[in-house]
């Protein structure tokens, strides 16, 4: 397929016009804040099409993509089997608001992959999944308070849009206008990779804590792996205090391993939140876990949650076809091999050129952190973008490698990194 040549002058005239028009129609010209390039400055290129590991913007510029729609494009963009199946499903109807066999097929696949999930409920986003899992934890335990971690993001539900106040571990305060303080006071904030901060909260609030919700590998403050013993420590603390452990695997599920971080680190949560890859590029989320917990969700139980478009046939079809590809022999060996080629190459460049930076990664998730802070990243980001490398426009977002990235893509990326990193 001919996607047109990459412009040699890195022209963005059409994108600039599109952004000017978008600014008149949408807050900040975008439908999700980070897309506005607020952390790095400048205006975003408007993407016109994507295939495999590449993006093309409205001006014809070509990029090697490490955003991957913020994670779900693990197979690459427009995978032919996924796209064909979605086209066929669309011809049968976009949404029914009624049960379909597709929902059960995808549910069975997920349950087979995740040993901690015995029943599952599909929703429309990661935000919905986390919001619903927390509601279920509260309903099942009869407790109101939850523990989350500073730097971990679980969607924009009121309960979870909370950050730490003063002190190492404290009551949450709203991190967004419009979130009542009365909501935030039930959210306690601990420090990621700091078991002591969690233990102190349990000691202070004893039998009032319903659950601990955590990104088992943090991805919303950049890629930050759990230190040894941290996740097991959370499991032990929750067991000791009869609270539930909720893994937000919206980002890590099917990404760091087929069975997510819980498979990689061998920790069994009570509830798991999924999204991103599960929809194969279409909007979807899910939460699932122990049968006794999931049976408390309506219509069986008293914890209410509903959604007209939940389990819609397009998203279910995309999810089924994506998981069919991911369960093939040695898929993750190939994904991790190409990811390691990239991350080890960047690490070598940093060392050779004596750049004050470090790269952190788990599987195909990675982040290049600059010790000089966001300003250094800003310079690096724009240099990479001009060189045809599309990265998340924030120092504190994870990057993703896909199965569509080739050795040639990685070599071109490393060459551009070597040229660009000196300007940071």
Question: Are residues 59 and 15 in contact, defined by beta-carbon separation less than 8 angstroms?
Answer: yes
- Give strand pairing partners of 344: none
Measured CA to CA, the distance from residue 223 to residue 368 in angstroms comes to 9
Q: Which of 338, 332, 278 is nearest to 310 (CA)?
A: 278
- Cis amide bond preceding 232, omega within 30: no
How far, in Å, CA of 210 to CA of 186, rounded? Answer: 10
Strands (E) across 199-289 are located at: 209-214, 244-248, 271-275, 285-289
How far apart (Å, rounded) are the C-alpha atoms in residues 418 and 345? Answer: 10
Residue 11 DSSP label:
-
Spatial distance between the Cα atoms of 255 and 323, rounded to a whole number of angstroms:
11
Q: For residues 410 and 401, what is the distance between their CA atoms, to the nearest angstrom?
A: 10
Please compute Rg for the chain using Cα positions: 21
Give 280's contacts (C-beta < 8 A, 6+ positions apart).
72, 75, 79, 82, 86, 315, 318, 319, 321, 322
Q: Are 400 and 74 in contact (CB under 8 A)?
A: yes
Which region, left, alpha or beta, applies to residue 222 given φ > 0 means left and ψ of -120 to 50 means alpha? Answer: left
Q: Would you say how long the chain is, in residues?
A: 424
Q: By three-state DSSP, how is residue 147 classified? A: strand
Cβ atoms of 369 and 357 closer than 8 Å? yes
Give the chain's count of helices (H) and strands (E). Answer: 13, 16
Catalytically active residues, by annotation: 153, 248, 276
């Amino acid at each position: 397929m001919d996607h047109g040549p990459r412009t040699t002058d890195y022209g963005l005239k059409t994108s600039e016009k599109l952004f000017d028009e978008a600014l008149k129609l949408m807050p900040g010209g975008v439908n999700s804040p980070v897309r506005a390039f607020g952390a790095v400055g400048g205006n975003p290129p408007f993407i016109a099409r994507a295939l495999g590991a590449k993006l093309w913007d409205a001006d014809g510029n070509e990029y090697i993509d490490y955003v991957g729609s913020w994670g779900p494009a693990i197979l690459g963009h427009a995978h032919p089997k996924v796209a064909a199946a979605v086209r066929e499903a669309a011809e049968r109807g976009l949404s029914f608001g009624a049960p379909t066999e597709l929902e059960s097929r995808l549910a069975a696949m997920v349950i087979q992959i995740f040993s901690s999930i015995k029943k599952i409920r599909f929703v429309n986003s990661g935000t919905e999944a986390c919001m619903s899992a927390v509601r279920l934890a509260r309903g099942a335990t009869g407790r109101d308070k939850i523990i989350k971690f500073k730097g971990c993001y679980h969607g924009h539900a009121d309960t979870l849009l909370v950050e730490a106040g003063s002190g190492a571990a404290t009551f949450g305060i709203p991190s967004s206008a419009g979130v009542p303080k009365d909501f935030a006071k039930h959210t306690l904030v601990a420090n990621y990779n700091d078991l002591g901060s969690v233990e102190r909260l349990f000691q202070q609030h004893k039998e009032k804590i319903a659950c601990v919700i955590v990104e088992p590998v943090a991805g919303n403050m950049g890629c930050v792996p759990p230190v040894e013993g941290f996740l097991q420590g959370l499991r032990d603390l929750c067991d000791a205090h009869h609270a539930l452990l909720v893994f937000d695997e919206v980002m890590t599920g099917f990404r760091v391993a087929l069975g997510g971080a819980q498979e990689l680190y061998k920790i069994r949560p009570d509830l798991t939140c999924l999204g991103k890859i599960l929809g194969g590029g279409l909007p979807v989320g899910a939460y699932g876990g122990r049968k006794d917990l999931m049976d408390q969700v309506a219509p069986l139980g008293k914890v209410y949650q509903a959604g007209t478009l939940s389990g819609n046939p397009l998203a279910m079809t995309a999810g089924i076809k994506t998981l069919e590809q991911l369960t093939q022999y040695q898929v993750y060996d190939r994904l991790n091999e190409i990811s390691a080629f990239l991350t080890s190459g960047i690490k070598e460049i940093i060392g050779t050129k004596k750049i004050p930076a470090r790269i952190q990664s788990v599987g195909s998730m990675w982040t290049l952190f600059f010790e000089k802070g966001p300003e250094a990243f800003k310079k690096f980001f724009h240099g990479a973008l001009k060189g045809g490398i599309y990265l998340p426009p924030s120092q504190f977002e994870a990057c993703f490698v896909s199965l569509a990235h080739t050795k040639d893509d990685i070599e071109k990326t490393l060459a551009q990194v070597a040229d660009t990193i000196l300007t940071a």
